[in-house]
Structure formats: C-alpha cells, structure tokens
Structure 1
Amino acid sequence: MSLNTEQAKAFFAACDTGQGWDACRSYCAPGATFSAQTDVLTGITTLQQYTEWMRDLLKVLTDGNYEVKSFATDEERNNVCVYATFSGTHLEGGPVSPTGRATKTDYVYIMQFSNGKVTHLTKIWNSGHALKELGWA
C-alpha cells in the first residue's frame, strides 16, 4: 500500500468520525486547503476548518456514520478518491430544533497529496438533498 493510500485512509477515518483537527493535522500539509461547490460549506477554505465542521456536525447527527463504497489511489496524479455514503439522524442541537429525521447521502473526497501529506481536499456532495431529508431546508 502506498504512503498516500495509508495517509488517506487514516485521514478519512479521523475526519469522518468527527475527531476534528487535532486528530487530522498529522496527515495534512501546513496550510492544506478545502473546496466544495455547496452553499453549506461556503467560507470553509482550509482542511482545518472542514475537519472542525465535521466534528460539529457529528455532535448534531449523533448516530452519524459512513460506509466506504470505493477507494482509489491515482499515483500518477498524486491523489486519492473516496466515495462513501454518510448516514445520520438529527437528534441534538443544530440549525433548528432536533427533527428526528435522517439522511443517507453520497459524497466523494478527492485528496491531493505532496510528500505523503494531504495538500487539498475537494468534496463533491449534493447538500441540498441531505438538508431536505433532515428537515433543515
């Protein structure tokens, strides 16, 4: 298994279980960036911000979990792609009172690497669908 693959797996597990930046920083290059074409994540431009957002999301969707559907490393382009499905129920806090409603939403991470560290993560996600399922939109 390549270093990029090992680092991507460890980063993904820490990030998507809501462990926050303290658990994720060792897998990332200083100043690692983040992008997503979704209004929910507008203003989040660093991986530090995104990992903290995920930590906070899992405080609201307390049963949040993921299932990896595909995991692929492209050594030539120094990136790793993860396709997963996130499931969670709104049981605590959040942008509205707990709705008790659940979402099951697909997403993809494309993690760019340099020297075995994540330098950029792009998230591809239909947030509108997830927000409707949760009763937030």
Structure 2
Amino acid sequence: MGDITTVAKAFFDACETGGGWEACARYCALHATFSAQADALAGVTSLRDYTEWMKGLLTFIPDGRYEVRSFATDEERRNVTAYGVFHGTHTGEGGPCPPTGKSTSTDYVYVMQFEGDRIIGLTKIWNDARAVRELGWA
C-alpha cells in the first residue's frame, strides 16, 4: 500500500471529510482500536465506529473542515501524528439539539499506530468540552 506517512495522510483526509468506514477501511486493520479521553466520544472504542461518528458529525456541521498544522512520522515507534484544527458551524439538523448557528475552531491531535502499512489504533487528543461550549451544546 505504501509508506505509513502516505497511508496516514490518505486516512486522515478520508476520515476528516466524512468518508466513514467505507472510505477509511482500506487503510486500517479490520479490528483497529480507537481511544480518546473525551466525553463526546465515550463508548467509541473501534476505529470503524469513530470514522462513522465523524461522518455523522458532518451531517449537522455540513461546513466542517480541517486545517493541518503538523504531520510527523516516527518510524521507530511505527506511528504518525497529525495536529489539526477543525472548523465548523452547527447549521444542519441532527446532533444533540436543534441547529444553534454557532461555530467552533477546535484543536485536536491524532496518533495513528501502525502494524505494517495498516493503522491498528488511533488515539485522539481533543478538548471536547470547549468545542461543545462553542457550538452551544452545553
């Protein structure tokens, strides 16, 4: 498939643009894990479910988009780290409440762990509480 940096970039774009598991599966091990210390993602433990969560998020934040600030590969530890900023406004139906018309610009980091050229786990580092407040959900 390619080197882990190339795979990570392709996965990142597919996930962050709402491709869901259908677009992301080719870059991941079937049972890839997901973890985050964020209440908004409580109970999401598989990468498959996380990619579907992102797909769902973009239905009620239809202008959701990312801005990459850093992308780094650690070959020794077989991981790739991506730092981005998610921008979006809650204008679509769905989500935790009716559309608020409020926006967020929220920092996050993905650490994608590899085995061979497949992602076997992703950890998301994200201050979800701030994003929830900015969007008017709390």
Q: Which residue of 2 aligns with 1:77?
A: 77
What is the CA–CA distance in structure 2 between the aligned matches of 1:102 and 1:30, rounded to whole Å?
Answer: 34
SS state at 1:77 partner: coil
Say whether residues 1:131 and 2:126 are aligned partners: no
Q: How many residues align?
A: 136
Give TM-score scaled by structure 1 length: 0.98
Q: Which residue of 1 aligns with 2:89?
A: 89
What is the CA–CA distance in structure 2 between the aligned matches of 1:115 and 1:97, rounded to whole Å?
Answer: 43
Q: Which residue of 1 aligns with 2:120?
A: 119
What is the CA–CA distance in structure 2 between the aligned matches of 1:65 and 1:131, rounded to whole Å?
Answer: 17
Q: Which residue of 1 aligns with 2:65?
A: 65
CA RMSD of aligned residues (A): 0.7
Q: Which residue of 1 aligns with 2:32?
A: 32
Q: Which residue of 1 aligns with 2:100?
A: 99
Q: Which residue of 2 aligns with 1:17?
A: 17
User: Post-superposition shift, 1:30?
Assistant: 1.6
Q: Segments of 4+ in structure 1 off by > 4 A?
A: none
Q: Which residue of 1 aligns with 2:111?
A: 110
Letter in 1 for 2:92: E
Letter in 1 for 2:87: S
Tell me the alpha carbon deviations over residues 75-106 of structure 1, each in whole angstroms, 9 at most, x when there is no partner.
00000000000000000122101000000000
- Give unmatched runs, 5+ long, in structure 1: none
Determine what percentage of the aligned residue pairs are the same residue: 60
What is the CA–CA distance in structure 2 between the aligned matches of 1:83 and 1:8, rounded to whole Å?
Answer: 12
What is the CA–CA distance in structure 2 between the aligned matches of 1:15 and 1:96, rounded to whole Å?
Answer: 24
SS state at 2:85 partner: strand
What is the CA–CA distance in structure 2 between the aligned matches of 1:35 and 1:27, rounded to whole Å?
Answer: 18
- Give unmatched runs, 5+ long, in structure 2: none
What is the CA–CA distance in structure 1 between the aligned matches of 2:11 and 2:72, rounded to whole Å?
Answer: 14
Tell me the alpha carbon deviations over residues 42-88 of structure 1, each in whole angstroms, 9 at most, x when there is no partner.
11000000000000000010100000000000000000000000000
